[in-house]
Amino acid sequence: MTRTARSGRRLAAIAATVAVLATAACSAPVQNKGDDSAAGGATSMLIAADNGSPTFDRNFNPYSSGKRNTTTYMYEPLVIINEMSGEETPWLATGYEQPDAKTVVFTIRDGVKWSDGEPLTAEDVKYSFDLVKKHPEMDLKGAWSHLKSVEVDGKTVVAHLQDEDVPAAKILAQQLIVPEHIWSEVKDPVTFTNEEPVGSGPYTLDEFTPNQYTLTKNETYWQADKVAVEELVQPAANSELDIVNNGYDWAYAFMSDVDDTWVKADPENNTYWFPAGAAISLIPNMTKAPYDNVDFREGIALALDKQVIADKAEQGYVDRASQTGLMLPNQEAILDTSIPNQGYVDQDTDAALASFEKAGYTKKGEKLVDSSGKPLKITITTPNGWSDWLQGVEQVKSQLTAIGIDVTVVQPQAAAYQKELRTGDFDMIMGTVGGTGQPFQDYNGLMGSEFRLDIGKTASGNFGRFESAEADDLLAELKVTTDEAKQLEITHQLEQITYEQLPMIALFYGGSWGLFSNKNFTGWPSADDPYASPKTWDSTPLLILTHLKPAQG
């Protein structure tokens, strides 16, 4: 349950968010290099996708946690998954089949070349999987927690799984592929900084300095005709002031008043899209009373006006979250329509008091008390320094106080917060739920017993210690079925459990802060065309970079 400083997203995305928090004093006065290009639009893009902290190190190892974010513009996966919707786009693989629940067969695309001109083959794909098996610290997607072996059969790569594990295909599909003829000569792939990257993607590294680097279009790219941007310029410092004043084309940045800053800077061209991400939620500790009582959890949910909380926390840019655990409207296609109000739980004080009464708490004067007359007191934990979460929690406190609950908010430092999650040393804690667009991954992380039993070791999920034999049975069934209709049926049942049993209390969606300029390029993702997340890291930017068109002069 980790997030970036503003959006509530995973810590894996922090590098992208920190990029927009660098101080203006560290910034070079970069202007968009495409401004003097031929009429009809620029060919160069100024982008805030990476952070120098305060300067860049030259590390383009795609399997290193310290890599440059734009490394994934040079190295590609087999399939790209839009985490907002779960939609899959075949990439280095033309697709995959699952002949049974223990086998995934990827068909590798013909005609793909590495940027040095060598052909990309199925052997490269096998090599990439075997490489991260040999060096587990490089297995960033966790492929070998599912794999037994990988083999090549002509143009296909056959993945044999450890168990019946249908959802594993989506994890394997996101593996980044590297060229065997380069990496097989590397003595220590773990520490290898890959300063002269050879990839299959739309860009190659051009000029590099500690303060700025550029990527240039790979003219031999297998879909070069779809790549309109000839050059990407990435400065080391990208403060809000830089982004607004220096003519950026694309940035991932939260701005407190985006209309009066970003849009006002160029009303004709500047736009933004802040779609929903994971659900920022209250996670009750269900090893403790009264949090183990579903009536108590329902009372909390009914007592809260989530839209007011969302508006306070994220300044009106995101909406309240559905109690189904889905990201709406992005995942409406898999929503169980029988769930009332799309799973949004409206504030209802009378119903909340009725639920608390079922849980053993009644109103005495201005306080909710138990059967002995002891006032109800709860503690909510939120990480120190995450101001949007704190503003949301303060609104939660205000609303619960109004119904008669004594609420204390504590703010441990990030490390202590993570420890409390793992050890269960909390009453209720703020955290993120879902966000992958993959039902099995999201619901297993929320409710699965395998996570509950492994907390404090290696797993990360089910921090509320929720127990449900029904949920476990459904997850086990979802894991092994290849029937898409059956998968949807099971997903609907998991939505129902999340809505009715409240393993978390969904508050609001974490935002994805996409800033775009139409001055030089058009075709950015939007609410009307949500073909990709607006984020600038991982593999989904490839969907954007092969979708943009030059602006018309």
For the chain, the structural domain boundaries read 11-64+201-275+513-550, 79-183, 277-511
Q: Provide the pLDDT confidence category of residue 22 given band limits of 50, 70 and 90.
A: very low
Predicted local confidence at residue 461, as pLDDT = 79
Comparing 280-294, 302-316, 395-409, 457-471, which segment has the lowest mean pLDDT? 457-471
Half-sphere exposure of 110 (CA within 13 A, CB side): 2
If one compares 29 and 349, the residue with the highest pLDDT of the two is 349
Band (456; pLDDT cuts 50, 70, 90): low
- Packed helices 349-358 and 294-303: angle between N→C axes, nearest 10 degrees: 160
Query: What's the predicted TM-score (pTM) here?
Result: 0.87
Number of helices and strands in the chain (H, E): 16, 22
- What SS3 class is residue 130? helix
Confidence of residue 455 (pLDDT cuts 50, 70, 90): low
Backbone φ and ψ of 187, nearest 5°: -70, -45
Alpha-carbon distances of 456 from 86, 265, 309, 418, 420, rounded to whole Å: 29, 48, 31, 10, 10
Q: Which of 112-116, 248-252, 359-363, 460-464 has the lowest mean pLDDT?
A: 460-464
More confident residue, 18 or 303: 303
CATH topology for 79-183?
A: Dipeptide-binding Protein; domain 1 (3.90.76)
pLDDT for res 237:
84
Task: Give the class (CATH, top level) of 277-511.
Answer: alpha beta
Q: What is the DSSP letter of 309?
A: H
pLDDT digits (tens, 9 = 90+) for 72-85: 999 999 999 998 88
Cα distances (Å, whole numbers) of residue 379 to 153, 399, 406, 430, 464: 57, 14, 9, 11, 14
Burial class (CB in 10 A: 0-12, 13-18, 19+), 365: exposed
Residue of 507, 296, 505 whose CA lies nearest to 392: 507
CATH assignment, 11-64+201-275+513-550: 3.40.190.10
Which helix (H) or strand (E) segment holds residue 517: the answer is strand 514-517
Structure confidence by residue, pLDDT tens digits, 37-50 = 333 456 899 999 99
Q: What is the pLDDT of residue 37?
A: 39
Which tokens go with 358? 């079922």
Buried b (16+ CB within 10 A) or exposed e, 238-254: bbbebbbebbbbbbbbb
Q: How many residues does the chain have?
A: 553
114-118, 253-257, 275-279, 445-449: which is most confident: 114-118
